[in-house]
């Protein structure tokens, strides 16, 4: 009798085990995200585009896409059109432009902040060494007082008890013009970023004119505000419903960060690679710009509080319209990592 009970129990256990295995076998496998035929990424001719050249050259996104295509944007109108019509999957753009588009209803998210401030006052003489020295001077600024560069500059001036409208003259001049006029000595001061600062310094040297970075605005921001010296200047923006494809976004962010690290560690090799994909940026200028570009990608979840703190300070003097009327809500920050 005992043997029969034991055999019965053994048979029942085997049946349960087989049924369990059968259930496991019938459970549908988790669907993987299909590989895209192409990922399109756009950037302006600036330091935020440097890692993209490495991504494309090495086909670093081959795990999520067969091909990586890079495109350039020049004007804010082009930037807006690329985003609102979903022409690209990702775009490297100035942080305020992205916030403005978001506040106007565009479907975008901040993937990372890639550039943490690369603004410098260039001087063609030795008359300026401090912010105080700017009093009574003329300085060329792209967008004048109203662009992102200009509003940051105004904030620093105001915090140093300098009236931007009375104590100096701010000239609205694009960087190409200010660069050429600095090189000829026609103007003495200009606010510039990278790699434009490096281009200006190199071009001026060819004509035996010495142009130098007289003031680092990131350091002046820290002094004026009592905060970190980092200015969230540009980042990788996720366009449209691509934010739902976490495998794609996370891989792009991962490879972008790895590529930025390689660029910073290999400036001489990075220069020609960047020029290959973005011909307006010459290899020597790219190489020379890297010590000043602050190319340090930080993912959105990690830098959200820092960006919000910066914006809170920035809006003490900048018009809310410069970022679309209000601070971005939490939905602006990608959190799928």
Position of tokens 């970022």?
A: 323
Mean pLDDT of 268-283: 96
Structure tokens at 196: 């434009």
3-class state of residue 141 by DSSP: strand
67 touches 39 (CB < 8 A): yes
Long-range contacts for 221-224 (Cβ within 8 Å, ≥24 apart)?
221/117, 221/152, 221/155, 221/156, 224/155, 224/156, 224/159, 224/160
Q: Count other Cβ atoms within 10 Å, centred on residue 116.
A: 23
| Length of the chain as a residue count | 337
Phi, psi of 146 (to 5 degrees): -100, -20
Angle at CA of residue 171, ends 326 and 139, nearest 5°: 100
301 touches 76 (CB < 8 A): no
Decide which of 111 and 31 is more confident. Answer: 111
C-alpha span between 296 and 294 (Å, rounded): 6
C-alpha span between 81 and 97 (Å, rounded): 12
DSSP strand pairing (120-123 vs 108-115): unpaired
Q: What is the pTM of this model?
A: 0.88
Helices marked H in 91-194 — which ranges? 95-103, 148-159, 175-184
* CA–CA distances in Å: residue 308 to residues 100, 232, 237: 14, 10, 16
What's the confidence (pLDDT) of residue 3? 46
Structure tokens at 178: 């200010």
3-class state of residue 170 by DSSP: strand
Supply the Cα-derived Rg of the chain in whole angstroms.
26
What's the confidence (pLDDT) of residue 77? 94
Q: How confident is the model at residue 143 (pLDDT cuts 50, 70, 90)?
A: confident
C-alpha span between 224 and 235 (Å, rounded): 24
207 touches 184 (CB < 8 A): yes
- Residues 55-106 have pLDDT tens digits of 999 999 999 999 999 999 999 999 999 999 999 999 999 999 999 999 999 9
Beta-carbon contacts of 3 under 8 Å, excluding residues fewer than 6 positions away, are none
First to last CA, the chain: 61
Mean pLDDT of 299-308: 96
In the chain the domains, ranked by start, together with CATH numbers, are: 39-115+230-332 (3.40.190.10), 120-225 (3.40.190.10)
């Amino acid at each position: 009798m005992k043997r029969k009970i034991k055999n019965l129990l053994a048979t029942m256990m085997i049946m349960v085990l087989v049924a369990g295995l059968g259930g496991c076998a019938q459970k549908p496998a988790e669907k993987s995200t299909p590989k895209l035929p192409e990922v399109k990424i756009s950037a302006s001719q600036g330091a935020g585009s440097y890692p993209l050249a490495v991504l494309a050259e090495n086909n670093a996104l081959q795990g999520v896409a067969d091909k990586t295509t890079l495109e350039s944007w020049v004007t804010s109108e082009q930037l807006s059109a690329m985003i609102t019509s979903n022409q690209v999957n990702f775009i490297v753009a100035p942080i305020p432009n992205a916030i403005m588009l978001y506040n106007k209803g565009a479907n975008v998210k901040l993937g990372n902040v890639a550039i943490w401030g690369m603004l410098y006052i260039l001087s063609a003489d030795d008359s300026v060494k401090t912010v105080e020295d700017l009093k009574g001077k003329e300085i060329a600024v792209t967008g004048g007082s109203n662009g992102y560069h200009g509003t940051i500059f105004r904030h620093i001036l105001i915090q140093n008890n300098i009236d931007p409208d009375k104590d100096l003259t701010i000239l609205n001049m694009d960087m190409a013009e200010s660069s050429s006029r600095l090189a000829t000595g026609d103007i003495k001061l200009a606010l510039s970023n990278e790699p434009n600062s490096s281009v200006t310094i190199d071009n001026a040297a060819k004509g035996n004119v010495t142009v130098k970075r007289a003031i680092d605005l990131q350091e002046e921001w820290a002094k004026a505000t009592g905060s970190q010296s980092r200015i969230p200047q540009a980042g990788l923006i996720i366009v449209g419903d691509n934010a739902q494809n976490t495998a794609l976004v996370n891989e792009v962010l991962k490879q972008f960060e790895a590529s930025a690290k390689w660029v910073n560690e290999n400036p001489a090799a990075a220069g020609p690679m960047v020029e290959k994909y973005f011909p307006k940026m010459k290899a020597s200028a790219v190489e020379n710009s890297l010590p000043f570009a602050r190319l340090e990608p930080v993912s959105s979840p990690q830098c959200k509080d820092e960006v919000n703190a910066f914006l809170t300070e920035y809006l003490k003097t900048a018009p809310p319209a410069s970022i679309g009327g209000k601070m971005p809500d939490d939905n602006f920050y990608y959190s799928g990592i």
